[in-house]
């Protein structure tokens, strides 16, 4: 046995203690510090921070580093020191039921992020399959995805389920021609790409069933009609319903549309019988809420310009006379002062009941939607898909308008008069998608889209407007031909909503688009244009879209008072040549 003296024993104990400290450091974080660049063979304690490949890490377990590849490969010892989080990946399409294999893309708005995914129900990890392109889903599957990036916290896990039906679906029928405006009776044929399929159709606005009229040859449409068709075949899922509207006869002419004031203020009151003969459609402004800003659906319609020599019965008789002369008289709802919201099913029912009461009492040919202020708005930034709106004010208004239209025949007029703020602005800023903008931006988009099958035409108010950016990247101020063409082209070509290609607003038919401008210098705060400039814009648009429907103005009263009806006379004569 080797013997040690007292001094050798003391030295040996000190050496053992030193080695213990080096290889088994205390777990306290009392001496934590910024240790600079990470290095191997170095003692680290809880709370120490180091830099590795330009990323800062915090020590979460005291230890001595013995390897050269530690952070970020040993998560038990180190964690990223950051509060930044990778954006949640987005699926396109976002799940659903499909009859065939589906191509799915996954994107992440965090630049440089890596997307990893699974299809077995487990949450993705940094070792899961890396997304590098389109994923083909051939059978029912749930995909989960997660975003990763060095120096940032991982994203949340997002998932989407794709149900692939083993049973195929019949192709939707195709109309030829696909709807439009015609001066005479129109012959319509229907075809289906699925061999052996049977096509059934309706003309009353209802969806076809397996017992509806059987299509067996060309259909002759002699009056304004909406055809709906569906295809059937044993062993296959029924097709989607397709529809097309054919406007026949007098309604095929280009329309000159004007608003008529029910009140006597600013411009003299005009008896309906005295409106200029060039007007084809007279929009009566307005049906309003009993209490402005209300949510109960209670509406009123009052003609305040009546006198003892021009009574309500005279007004009703004039409506009938105008209709007998081939004119259309439409009830406009809302206006700037007539703002209201429908926030419950009871309010929807009351609104529908009141508006239908006015239509039936006065014999109006349809309704015009001129909702302003906060009548409709989004749950800001939380209602991104205009095709499937969720904001209550919007959903309820769609339901109410559809209910009214369904109560009348297929020639019932539904027109829209949004300001550019509520429609075209939605290309750049959409209140349901872009949380940083006004909650009403683009709010007409989901309503018009949901009611395409009922919409007769849209005449955006190209006046009292801010500058609006069009898809060509240019900003347009209203009151010139270029602006009119740009704003109408957005509706005729379709546009990405909120700047997002996955949210594309499909084009309206040319016969569903009308140019809307002020009639005179004082009729609006901006947007005035000469008759020559207006007709130049119409020529430009109709060269590409010959079915363009017409011209609208605010207002009949202003034109009579300030122009001696020159707007109606000039533009009425012009449209007669188109």
Active site positions, annotated: 372
In residues, how long is the chain?
Answer: 578
Structure tokens at 356: 């239908």
Task: Select from 300, 310, 297 the least CA-distant residue to 342.
Answer: 297
> What is the maximum span of the chain, computed from C-alpha positions, in angstroms?
135
Provide the 8-state DSSP code for 265: B
The sign one gets for the Cα dihedral 449, 451, 457, 462 is negative
- 10 Å CB burial of residue 220 (0-12, 13-18, 19+) is exposed
What b/e readout covers 319-342, taking b as 16+ CB neighbours within 10 angstroms?
Answer: beebeeeebbbbbbbbbeebbbbb
Q: Which H or E element spans position 168?
A: none
DSSP string, 10-54: HHHHHHHHHHHHHHS-----TT--EEEE--SS-EE-TT-EEEETT
The crossing angle, in degrees rounded to 10, of helices 392-406 and 345-362 is 30
- For residue 40, CA distances in Å to 44, 60, 365, 384, 442 come to 10, 17, 84, 50, 58
Q: How far is CA 479 from the centre of its chain?
A: 26
For Cα atoms 389, 344, 291, give the angle at the middle one, nearest 5 degrees: 110
Provide the 8-state DSSP code for 417: -
**Is the distance from CB of 232 to CB of 197 less than 8 angstroms?**
yes
- The Cα 532–Cα 225 span in angstroms is 35
- The Cα 87–Cα 67 span in angstroms is 33
Provide the 8-state DSSP code for 470: -
**Which residues is 329 bridged to in the sheet?**
282
Strand 174-176 versus strand 198-202 pairing type: unpaired
Structure tokens at 332: 């406009």
């Amino acid at each position: 046995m080797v013997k040690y003296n007292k001094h050798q024993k003391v030295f040996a104990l000190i050496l053992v203690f030193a080695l213990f400290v080096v290889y088994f450091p205390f777990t306290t974080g009392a001496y934590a510090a910024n240790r600079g660049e990470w290095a191997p063979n170095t003692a680290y304690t809880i709370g120490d921070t180091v830099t590795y490949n330009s990323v800062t890490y915090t020590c979460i377990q005291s230890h001595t580093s013995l390897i050269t590849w530690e952070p970020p490969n040993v998560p038990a010892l180190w964690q990223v020191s950051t509060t930044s989080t990778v954006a949640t990946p987005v699926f396109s399409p976002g799940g659903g039921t499909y009859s065939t294999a589906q191509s799915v893309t996954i994107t992440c708005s965090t630049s440089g992020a890596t997307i990893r995914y699974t299809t077995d129900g487990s949450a993705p990890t940094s070792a899961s399959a890396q997304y590098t392109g389109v994923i083909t889903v051939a059978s029912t599957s749930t995909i989960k995805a997660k975003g990763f990036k060095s120096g940032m916290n991982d994203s949340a896990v997002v998932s989407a389920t794709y149900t692939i039906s083993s049973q195929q679906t019949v192709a939707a029928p195709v109309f030829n021609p696909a709807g439009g405006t015609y001066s005479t009776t129109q012959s319509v044929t229907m075809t289906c790409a699925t061999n052996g399929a049977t096509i059934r159709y309706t003309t009353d606005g209802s969806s076809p069933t397996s017992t509806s009229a059987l299509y067996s040859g060309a259909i002759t449409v002699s009056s304004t009609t909406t055809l709906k068709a569906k295809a059937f075949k044993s062993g296959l899922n029924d097709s989607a319903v397709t529809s097309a509207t054919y406007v026949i006869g007098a309604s095929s002419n280009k329309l000159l549309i004007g608003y008529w004031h029910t009140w006597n203020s600013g411009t003299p009151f005009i008896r309906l019988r005295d409106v200029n003969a060039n007007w084809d459609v007279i929009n009566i402004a307005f049906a309003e809420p009993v209490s402005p800003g209300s949510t109960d659906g209670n509406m009123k319609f009052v003609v305040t310009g009546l006198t003892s020599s021009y009574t309500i019965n005279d007004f009703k008789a004039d409506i009938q006379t105008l209709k007998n002369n081939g004119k259309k008289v439409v009830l406009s709802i809302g206006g700037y002062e007539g703002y209201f919201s429908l926030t419950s099913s009871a309010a929807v029912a009351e609104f529908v009941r009141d508006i239908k009461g006015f239509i039936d009492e006065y014999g109006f040919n349809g309704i015009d939607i001129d909702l302003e202020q906060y009548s409709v708005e989004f749950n800001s930034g939380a209602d991104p898909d205009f095709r499937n709106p969720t904001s209550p004010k919007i959903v309820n208004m769609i339901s109410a308008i559809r209910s009214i239209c369904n109560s009348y025949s297929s020639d019932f007029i539904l027109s829209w008069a949004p300001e550019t703020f509520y429609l075209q602005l939605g290309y750049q800023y959409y209140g349901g998608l872009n949380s940083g903008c006004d909650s009403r931006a683009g709010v007409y988009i989901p309503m018009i889209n949901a009611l395409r099958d009922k919409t007769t035409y849209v005449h955006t108010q190209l006046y009292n407007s801010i500058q609006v950016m069009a898809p060509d990247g240019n900003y347009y101020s209203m009151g010139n031909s270029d602006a009119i063409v740009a704003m109408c082209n957005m509706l005729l070509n379709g546009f990405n909503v909120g700047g997002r290609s996955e949210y594309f607003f499909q084009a309206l038919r040319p016969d569903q688009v009308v140019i809307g401008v002020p009639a005179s210098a004082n009729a609006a705060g901006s947007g005035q244009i000469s008759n020559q400039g207006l007709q130049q814009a119409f020529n430009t648009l109709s060269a590409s879209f010959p079915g363009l429907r017409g011209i609208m103005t605010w207002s009949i009263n202003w034109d009579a008072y300030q122009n001696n009806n020159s707007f109606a006379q000039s533009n009425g004569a012009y449209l007669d040549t188109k």
